[in-house]
Amino acid sequence: MIAAARFDWPSLVNLLALRDYNTRVVVLGVGAFALASGVVGTFLMLRKRALLADVISHATLPGIALAFLVGSSLGVAGKSLPVLLAGATVTGVLAVLFVLAIVHTTRVKEDAALGIALSVFFGGGIALSSLVQQSATASAAGLDAFIYGKTAAMIVSDAWLIAGGAAIVIAICIGFFKELRLLCFDPAYAAAQGRPIVAFDLLLMGAVVMITVIGLQAVGLILVIALLVVPPAAARFWSDDLRRVVLISAGVGLISGVVGAGLSALIPKAPSGALIVLVSGALFVFSLIFGAKRGSLWRWLEARQLGRRVAEQHFLRSCYELVEDDPRRAFSEGALAANRVWNAEELARMMQVALAGRWIEAAGSSQFRLTQAGLESARRVTRNHRLWEMYLITHADIAPSHVDRDADLVEHVLDAEMITKLEALLAADAAALVTPPSPHRLPSVLPSGAAP
């Protein structure tokens, strides 16, 4: 008879209090690595070299295999973390130098150079890994699991090694913050000022190599790319200020590492690296939707508000064009419909909005009239539209027959400062200004006896 599976779930209280020694070790190592990844990953993303982290992570495979083979042949513990990280560092640096050499000495584009380096180094790593598995060294068993991440196997010396490397990476990013910011945003200007761009680039790449190789024990060489890319990408949805983006990215990385490691302790046999990356991905999706700066929810709300404002301004301008010669003139809903191509449902909604906002008022059976507040708003909207029309005619060589359509694309985002600049610019050419007749003011839609 098959016995029922039984899981011993750790106490959540003990986990939160970090009473378990192994949990403290894992949280220290993973948290330090994830925090540093979020910091340096921000500069890597802004430098538009996110794929380079993938190249470096794959390029560490041959270094790990070589370090294992050499260490075992010399009588050193082949699976010792310092030995493996040393080998990974060497091949990671070689991969970076290989990419930079191709980019700066040939006409091969950077994306092609990255692809070449990734395939060559990873192919060599696969070949060396097969030699490791065929070796007579008994300790070779389980090396693949170590390479692809085995957080639970972390010991205190490994955690302190990871924390020390993470501290160095963070110190580099803080100490050279201004230089790295200039490198990411305007390398051409930095070069023109005589700054050593190549040296700064190598410094950044060196920090990426360091954080990549120390992350092997935390999430493995395949998943390490996620913590270098996902937290910075999530942070970009919250701010445009680089300092805030770095802090948010570091926070996302830290939360991902700590929560992922905690979940792996709560869920039996759960892969730590995968859970860390899944938590990071969940935070990215949250930022994608709710991010204060670029979140899709707020962008959708802003677009919806802009659409409503545009519809309101079109309605007010349509009303004003009907009564421009006589502001107290009444008009009908049918005249509005003929003055602009309105959807019947949209026009009915706008009539309700205008009545509720007291822009218009009833003036008899099926007749309406602009209120004083509505007239002032309509006059302002129409004036902004005509200002932009005159600018397009006199300075952009737009034909009068097309100027109304082009003005519609821009007028709704004009602010007070832009309107003042338009007035000043057009004042110099006042003698040449000719306000085009509105294409909406057609005789067929005007009340009888009204001048077109």
pLDDT digits (tens, 9 = 90+) for 387-429: 777 777 766 666 665 555 555 555 555 566 666 766 666 565 5
Q: Which residues contact 398 (CB under 8 A, 6 or more apart)?
A: 392, 406
Domain ranges in the chain are 16-225, 301-445
Specify the DSSP class assigned to residue 76: S
Say which amino acid occupies 305: Q
CB atoms within 10 A of CB 4: 5
Angstrom distance (rounded) from CA 181 to CA 46: 9
CATH node for 16-225: 1.10.3470.10
User: What is the pLDDT, as a whole number, of residue 171?
Assistant: 94
Q: Which residues contact 5 (CB under 8 A, 6 or more apart)?
A: none
pTM for the structure as a whole: 0.74
229 burial class (0-12, 13-18, 19+ CB within 10 angstroms)?
buried
Lowest mean pLDDT among 66-70, 262-266, 332-336: 262-266
Say which amino acid occupies 267: I
Residue range 194-203: average pLDDT? 84
Q: Is 304 or 76 the better-scoring residue by pLDDT?
A: 304
- Tokens 């580099």 correspond to 172
In percent, the amount of the chain with pLDDT more than 70 equals 76
User: What is the pLDDT, as a whole number, of residue 289?
Assistant: 93
Residue 305 pLDDT level (bands cut at 50, 70, 90): confident
Helix (H) or strand (E) holding 134: helix 110-134
Contact 315, 350 (CB under 8 A): yes
Residue 238 pLDDT level (bands cut at 50, 70, 90): very high
User: What is the pLDDT, as a whole number, of residue 423?
Assistant: 64
CB atoms within 10 A of CB 390: 22
Lowest mean pLDDT among 235-244, 345-354, 440-449: 440-449
Query: Taking 50 as the threshold, does the pLDDT of residue 443 lie above it?
Result: no
Strand 360-362 relative to strand 331-332, pairing: unpaired
Fold of 301-445: Arc Repressor Mutant, subunit A (1.10.10)
Contact 359, 405 (CB under 8 A): no
Contact 257, 35 (CB under 8 A): yes
